[in-house]
């Protein structure tokens, strides 16, 4: 730890590896806090940013939006937060507060947002500055590394689960960081989880059953009974018609990712009978407050794989290749 110099893994150009960089400590401006990063999860969205699959990243950029750390400096006009307090910094980094979406409490769709690790600097670093209004106080329960994946995998998963409705039989396509958290939440609500993985991925299928899934199999398989709803966490458009086929009349299919490969054409009968296809974008602060209040009560256990900060490229490569179960977390 140093006083005036921070370390960061910086994306200079999309499609290139992150570079270990030393920078002057950032200073919090009006309404901002500076946080000493204790852990930062690695999300599929970080891969999309690095790969240039999302439009107009603000390069050079420090990725990372599942940040857990402690406040070590507070700018002007910040209320309700104190030095040393542990906070989480999520993907939604700023909203305008005045566009039609903000005004109708749908700030996840804000016309002029900033996103942590995409259009403002994130947590693949020892230090990060954040808009104080978008930081979540985390309290002292739980260790930093275990909490980090809740900040996006957990939050986006939670929003997806709410949008999926009340159905008891829930399919999860792609059993990575988000699904392994949401499977636990869904079961605490009395739902049955059906886990779909890459075909032949026996290790992840058994990981899912170990977390209580009543059935697990390849995404090319049909579940043993029709589902009430399915959430697609994988970024594969081919899964959309498969999931529609697996849900009952009136069932919902929710696409949880920020990016997906093209959805192939499919016959109208797959969406006929009031099946619904929806997507989830970003999060609202209300989602975060609800989920982070609920998570400790449910005793959610996150499976994490820790990497030192300077091995962020390895963590991204391992995520891409599906080389671990659960979530990767960088620890400075
Ligand atoms: Zn707005
Ligand atoms: Zn994310």
pLDDT, residue 4, reads: 86
Instruction: Give the Å distance between the CA of 281 and the centre of ligand 1.
Output: 14
Query: What's the whole-number mean pLDDT along residues 179-185?
Result: 98
**Is residue 42 pLDDT above 80, yes or no?**
yes
pLDDT, residue 1, reads: 45
* Angstrom distances, CA of residue 194 to CA of 173, 202, 212, 246: 9, 14, 9, 11
Tokens of 196: 């779909």
**Which ligand neighbours the alpha carbon of 104 most closely?**
1
**Is residue 71 pLDDT above 50, yes or no?**
yes
Instruction: Give the Å distance between the CA of 92 and the centre of ligand 1.
Output: 11
**Is residue 2 pLDDT above 60, yes or no?**
no
> In percent, how much of the chain has pLDDT > 90?
98
pLDDT, tens digit, for every residue of 214-255?
999 999 999 999 999 999 999 999 999 999 999 999 999 999
What mean pLDDT value characterizes the chain? 97
Q: Which of 128, 37, 153, 31 is nearest to 86 (CA)?
A: 37
Handedness of CA 96, 144, 154, 233 (dihedral sign): positive
**Is residue 3 pLDDT above 90, yes or no?**
no
**Which ligand neighbours the alpha carbon of 328 most closely?**
2
**Which ligand neighbours the alpha carbon of 149 most closely?**
2
Packed helices 153-164 and 285-298: angle between N→C axes, nearest 10 degrees: 100
**Which ligand neighbours the alpha carbon of 102 most closely?**
1
């Amino acid at each position: 730890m140093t006083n005036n110099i921070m370390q960061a893994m910086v994306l200079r150009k999309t499609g290139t590896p992150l570079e270990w960089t030393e920078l002057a400590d950032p200073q919090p401006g009006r309404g901002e806090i500076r946080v000493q990063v204790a852990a930062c999860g690695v999300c599929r969205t970080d891969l999309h940013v690095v790969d240039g699959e999302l439009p107009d990243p603000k390069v050079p950029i420090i990725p990372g939006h599942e940040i857990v750390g402690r406040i070590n400096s507070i700018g002007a006009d910040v209320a309700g937060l104190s030095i040393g307090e542990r906070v989480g910094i999520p993907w939604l980094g700023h909203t305008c507060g005045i566009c039609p979406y903000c005004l109708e409490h749908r700030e996840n769709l804000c016309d002029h947002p900033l996103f942590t690790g995409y259009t403002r600097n994130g947590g693949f670093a020892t230090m990060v500055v954040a808009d104080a209004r978008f930081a979540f106080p985390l309290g002292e329960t739980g260790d930093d590394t275990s909490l980090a994946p809740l900040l996006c995998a957990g939050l986006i998963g939670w929003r997806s689960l709410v949008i999926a409705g009340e159905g008891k039989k829930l399919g999860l396509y792609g059993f990575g960081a988000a699904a392994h958290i949401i499977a636990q939440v869904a079961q605490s609500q009395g739902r049955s989880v059906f886990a779909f993985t890459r075909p032949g991925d026996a290790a992840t299928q058994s990981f899912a059953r170990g977390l209580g899934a009543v059935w697990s199999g390849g995404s090319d398989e049909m579940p043993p009974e029709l589902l009430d709803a399915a959430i697609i966490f994988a970024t594969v458009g081919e899964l959309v018609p498969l999931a529609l086929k697996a849900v009952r009349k009136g069932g919902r299919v929710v696409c949880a990712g920020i990016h997906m490969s093209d959805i192939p054409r499919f016959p109208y009968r797959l969406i006929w009978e009031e099946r619904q296809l929806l997507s989830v974008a970003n999060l609202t602060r209300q989602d975060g407050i609800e989920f982070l209040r609920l998570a400790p009560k449910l005793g959610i256990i996150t499976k994490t794989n820790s990497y030192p900060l300077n091995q962020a490229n390895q963590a991204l490569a391992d995520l891409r290749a599906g080389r671990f179960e659960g979530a990767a977390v960088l620890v400075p």
